[in-house]
Amino acid sequence: MWVKPQEVLLANALWVTEQASPYFLLQRRRGHGSSRGLSSLLVGTLDSVFDTKPPPYRILHQTPNSEVFQMIACSLTHAEIEENWDWLQRSIMDTLSTFDTEDDVTEFVCCKIHSLIANQTPVVEDEETKSFKATAFKFRSLFNFPAEEKLVSYYSCSYWKGKMPRQGWMYLTVQHLCFYAYILGKETRLVIRWIDVTALDKTNSLLFPDSIRVATREKEHYFSMFLHKTETFTLMEQLANLAMKQLMDEKSGYNEDKELLKKLSINVPRKDSFLKRDLDARAHSEAYRLKFHLPNSEKLDGTSDATLWTPYNKHHVWGTLYLSQNFVCFDSRVANLVTLVIPLREVNLVEKVESQNIGSDLAMLITNKNASSHLFSNLKDREFVMRKISELLSRIKVNLTTSISSADSNLESSHHDEANNWNPQPALMTLFEFPNPTPPTIESDKESNWEKHFYIYGKGITMYRTVELAKIVLTGIPNGLRRELWPIFSGAMTDMSMAEPGLYRSLVNQAFSKSSTANDEIERDLHRSLPEHPAFQSEIGICALRRVLRAYACRNPQIGYCQAMNIVASVLLLFCTEEESFWLLAAVCEQMLPDYYNSRVVGALVDQGVLDDLTRTHLPELHAKLDDLGMIRMISLSWFLTIFLSVMHYESAVLVVDCFFYDGAKVIFQLALAILENNQDALLTCKDEGEAMQLLTNYLEGVTNDEISDNLISLHRDNEVIVKSISIQNLLYESYSKYGSLTASGIERMRLRHRLRVVQSLEDSVSRNVVRSVASFGFFTQDELQDLLALVREEQLCLRGSQPARIANIDPSTPHYEMFKVDFELFQSLFTGLSPWGHCSHAETLAARLFRLMDRDEDGFLNFRELVGALGMTSSADLTQRLKLLYTLHLPPLLSPSEIESPQQESDAEVAAEATDFFDSFEQQASCLGYDFMNSATSPDSAEGPSWRKMSVSSLHSLVLPSNPSRLHSKAMPCMAQPYFISLWKTLYDMFHAEPEDEETYHSIASIGTLLLQLGDVNKKFLGSRQASVDSLQSPSLKVETPSSPRFVSPPNLVLGEEDDNGNSSVNMESSESSGSNYALALPASPSTDEDEKTPNNNTRKKSDSPPQWSITLDQFLASALTGAPIVSFFERRINLIDTIDRFRKRRYVRLQSWPPEPTAASSPERKV
């Protein structure tokens, strides 16, 4: 391509001139192309290490007497640079010879190149974007990735291969970690999928100093010598975390946020990659939501340094102002000094403040609807911040208008709903007395203290949150204020205010209108929820709890219901209304304790690993003891899932819930460490796991609440008095004073490392169960099945863009192999890449028929068991079974007449008749064996064509993979007509066409084909000679035919005699029940015609003058095919699936680039006969 002329002082340094003219040079970069000299190797190494590799071809302009060169064109390909060179020689060389001076020549060339560039399509982009796009192109070229695999970022580093480091470049994408190095002619390439990463951490050992370790199931990889190690590791953590969430939840796949391109911003450094910018924005938004307990949908829009005027102490506090779609937040630079959350829906006015009396410049005043105001000053970009807030406020007003109109319609419809006559309950504490109530004097004193706090620091969601608030929360929230403060601290108030009015009632009605597994599980646990409280000994409390749990299961079916949710919800109902409890439960499950309440409790398992690390850090001696006992990751599961509500008396545990809603999940870890430390001496003397567990159980049951009088607390278990261990107030104070340094962000970083371990462990467990459930086929070994399953998951994630099965939400009643399904497009890809049958030109049609055969429920997907059956029967089954499958794939309705190349076009009626004859013939022969495939009353002659067609395909499936092989054998398979046999033999020829050419092979195939054609002619003659006899014998039997019997029943007095040279049996007359059965199998059934006649009993009978048809049986096909050594050798060959999958992976991205977007009509499995 043409480039803006640039001066080049040394034209021949590192370049080789390939063509020259008086005014131009065409040069090639050393190290590119076939040259492998020492200089070329050195140049290639330098370009790779320093990432300075320019386009390998260029054109320079020069004049004979000048030492300065001008680069006017460069290219990545030789063809393009040759095109530019030819244009120069053809278009301007003659003109240049007419100029008088060399300066005029240079000026003309430069002007001409500038005009060529100006005529090209303009692309406005900065130098960083150009550089990154060039690197992205180089990356895809090096690793042969498709354009969909977008580069996020790249870093210079060393990869330790053996004991030697290889200096090169690490490339990070959403799906892969890649590394490339070129050292003295030797290339090093590495590709690791993020879903395969089991550990990711920083190391600093003697062998691998200051490096990053990436571990997979097979190997550990070390990378070092980073220029930006922290940035690199943070991005790697984020990408690995995305992959783990994608494995856990099918809705968590990565999608670019295109709104970033339209976002109004200032003073934001431009990133090389849009993906990098997007991922950074996601990380900042996650930290922002975690800090202020905001909904998961909230996205950080921007930040600005500012000071906040705090009226309670009359100071300007420096901190950071945060803006997002629905909130303005502030956090002080000094940790926990002051925090502020202002919902934009509460904002009434935003204005400048120019008064000099405030003691600060560039001020902005935000006034709320409740008349409170907040003053921000020292805003460097005040005008921009106010403009941004105005933009966000305009969106809020539009959204509020839309939600109000939709809410009115929902409310109107709910008034007409008379079928669901129920009323939500208020806080149950207003209906039922507490068994051990707090003395009124203590309660009134606490309420008084809180009112004083509200007077000084404000009330509601816009209050100033300071250290004083943390202290007063630590003493406990009064019962009457929990309904107000829990939703504020947890963020549930925001969710509730942003939701449509009437949503809770709608969810309850919807949940009660249908049955589900979650509803059944909820019913089992209802009476186990806080049974000691009178509220849950009454139907009022039980019904309220049922509605809350069912409504949440309906709102979030991915979680549904998990044990321990009932304990949490029951305590919430004591202090809050039904709807408030519902939103509080949603905040706990989705924001505060994410991934805790799925069927695999992934979040709780991850946090057990975090507690393990914290115990190792803070209590190393105790950690060693608990590790020896094997209980370090067992003691805390119930603690975490129920927020200590199931292991303490709820009068004490409710103070833990107060702190939990205020400070988040860090409270659970602080409290767990304090409990372990208080019991450290006793735990060190325990001899086994049971003793240690009992010790901790007794300690937690003895935790009391000092606010409740001793004589009102009954600490008894099985008539045994429990010794009081500690008050909850003292325990919480110790946890904050000793472990208050824990932060939410630090815990989140630790969670990532353990999330890798937990999710991969669950993946391994699921994989083992899936492999175990399909191993009974015997087609593949355990290792081969593991590799195939890994390939299916990999293809779903990386190639198709679809999501894997939800590891976190496995229905225990679902077979394991149902978790992984492939559609036809993916099956076709696997069939053509892994099966020996997939190499022929008919592979797509074979794949379509095989897919239709194995898809028994006709849902358009094959589960993993069906996939293994399909691939196993074509690549590793025994010889007879493979030939039997090949025969089956060429029977109707799998092979339709429209797919058969025939000079005579068959009508739709003939097609239907062909399929009907197949079904009748099959039904006759299977019934003679005593095997009943057809339990339905649907007949082929009825109007419901698709149902009997489905039955026929299902019956073929049963014959190919029978569930009870002892009752079936090859003679139950229908006969094959001549057009279908010709199609089969063409397929067989095509299969061997993909093999190395061998004259003997083709001669053998031709001989066997000729033999089978002759056998079909013999069968046709045999049927013609016996037609009259068959009709006469059939008539008496039709008189006793039942409705379920086939319409073609063999006579009871025929037995088969000796077989002739062609494999056909002679017929003898005897009275035998079994002889009739064998007769039906020996005679190939001729297709029925429209000229069949009806008996008085409405049964169909063949006319004696109906022409017999050419046909062969499966036995004849097998017997003939087994005489050909090349055919036997081909169908006996068993593939090594592991090696085949390795080759398939290497071809993956080449195949993707050329893969058609839609399957052809001929290969679509949806085509019906």
Q: Cα angle at 840 between 837 and 843, to 5 degrees?
A: 70
Confidence check: pLDDT of 1077 > 50: no
Which regions of 744-880 does DSSP assign to beta strands (E)?
A: 821-823, 861-863
pLDDT of residue 628: 86
Q: What is d(CA 875, CA 1131) in angstroms, rounded to the nearest whole number?
A: 8
pLDDT band at 1166 (very low <50, low <70, confident <90, very high): very low
The length of the chain is: 1169
Confidence check: pLDDT of 1148 > 70: no
pLDDT of residue 857: 78
Q: How many angstroms from the chain centroid is the CA of residue 784?
A: 23
pLDDT of residue 733: 94
pLDDT of residue 49: 52
Q: Cα angle at 248 between 243 and 251, to 5 degrees?
A: 85
pLDDT band at 10 (very low <50, low <70, confident <90, very high): low
The two three-digit tokens of residue 69, written as one number:
């060169």
pLDDT of residue 62: 82
Give residues with Cβ within 8 angstroms of 50, minimum separation 6: none
pLDDT band at 553 (very low <50, low <70, confident <90, very high): very high
DSSP characters over 49-71:
HHT----SEEEEE--TT-S-EEE
Which residue do the tokens 């920083």 mark?
A: 202
Q: What is d(CA 39, CA 21) in angstroms, rounded to the nearest whole number?
A: 26
Confidence check: pLDDT of 904 > 50: no
Mean pLDDT, range 980-1000, rounded to an integer? 78
pLDDT digits (tens, 9 = 90+) for 203-217: 887 777 789 999 998
Burial profile 999-1012: b = 16 or more Cβ within 10 angstroms, e = fewer: eebeebbeebbebb
Confidence check: pLDDT of 123 > 60: no
pLDDT digits (tens, 9 = 90+) for 909-962: 444 454 455 445 444 444 443 334 333 333 333 334 444 345 456 666 666 664
Phi first, then psi: what are they for 36, rounded to 5°? -130, 35
pLDDT of residue 820: 84
Confidence check: pLDDT of 1063 > 70: no
- β-partners of residue 20 are 25
Taking the alpha carbons at both ends of the chain, their separation in whole angstroms is 55
Task: Report whether 571 contacts 584 (CB < 8 A).
Answer: no
| More confident: 796 or 306 | 306
Task: Report whether 215 contacts 200 (CB < 8 A).
Answer: yes
Which 3 state secondary structure label does DSSP give 320?
Answer: strand
Between the alpha carbon of residue 1136 and those of residues 217, 600, 993, 1049, the distances in Å are 22, 35, 21, 47
Lowest mean pLDDT among 118-127, 155-164, 483-492: 118-127
Rg (CA), the chain: 39
Task: Report whether 171 contacts 154 (CB < 8 A).
Answer: yes
Closest CA to 1142 of 833, 778, 732: 833
Q: How many angstroms from the chain centroid is the CA of residue 1090?
A: 54
The two three-digit tokens of residue 452, written as one number:
């004083």
pLDDT of residue 509: 92
Mean pLDDT, range 78-85, rounded to an integer? 87
Mean pLDDT, range 217-222, rounded to an integer? 89
Computed over every residue of the chain, the mean pLDDT equals 77
pLDDT of residue 126: 44
Mean pLDDT, range 142-159, rounded to an integer? 86
Q: Which of 144-148, 321-325, 1052-1056 has maximum average pLDDT?
A: 321-325
Helix-, strand-, coil-residue percentages of the chain, each rounded to 5: 55, 15, 30
pLDDT digits (tens, 9 = 90+) for 480-522: 999 999 999 999 998 898 888 889 999 999 999 888 888 999 9
pLDDT of residue 1050: 34
Single-letter residue type at 376? F
pLDDT band at 117 (very low <50, low <70, confident <90, very high): confident
